Amino acid sequence: MNARFELDHYLSHARRRLRWILSAQGSALLVVALLVVTLVAAWMLPRYGFTAGAALAGRIALAVAALGAVAWWVWRWRMQERGRAAAALERALPDESGRIATYLQESAKEPGKASVLLDLLAADALALAQREPLTQSIRPQRYVLPAAGAVLGVALLGTLLFSGIGLGDGARQLWLGRLPPAASVAAAA
């Protein structure tokens, strides 16, 4: 195998790890935003007597929080896919000292216009990359921890919705449209 092929393979693995990190961070942001809005709305709903208007305001806040988190994720994903991919790789692989950015820039040129030294640059970048494995450069903790936070947040949200703890009534009305028993009797009267 030639150095360019091996470097491209290495960079595709690095990009995949950066996407995992971004996806884990996006899911953690989404879950935390939904959990915070749920907690605030669940605390506010009993103070407003579980009215439909208060529940609607809470649901709108949930939608805004979800759209904000998704917009952040899409924006970051597009930045990573466009011209900023080289910058993201350089930040993740600081030992390369600009070699990755130069390699990506030169390899994107038309076949006849790329530098004749591109193979040497690829070999040099690959030699540096092989000194430190990708698992050391882009550590798994960078995507495992946000993913674990997202799972924990979903578990907390589920506990809040399906247990009888203090804010559960407001959370159930917000997410499921269920009024607590005393409030439903008062609403029927």
- The dihedral over CA atoms of 121, 127, 132, 133, expressed in degrees to the nearest 10, equals 90
pLDDT in tens, 25-40: 999 999 999 999 999 9
pLDDT (tens digit per residue) in 124-172:
888 877 887 777 778 888 889 999 999 999 999 999 888 877 788 888 8
Judging by beta carbons within 10 Å of its beta carbon (0-12, 13-18, 19+), is residue 40 exposed, middle or buried?
A: middle
98 or 148, higher pLDDT:
148
Give the length of the chain. 189
Choose among 181, 174, 163: nearest CA to 48.
174
**Residues 86 and 108: beta-carbon distance below 8 Å:** no
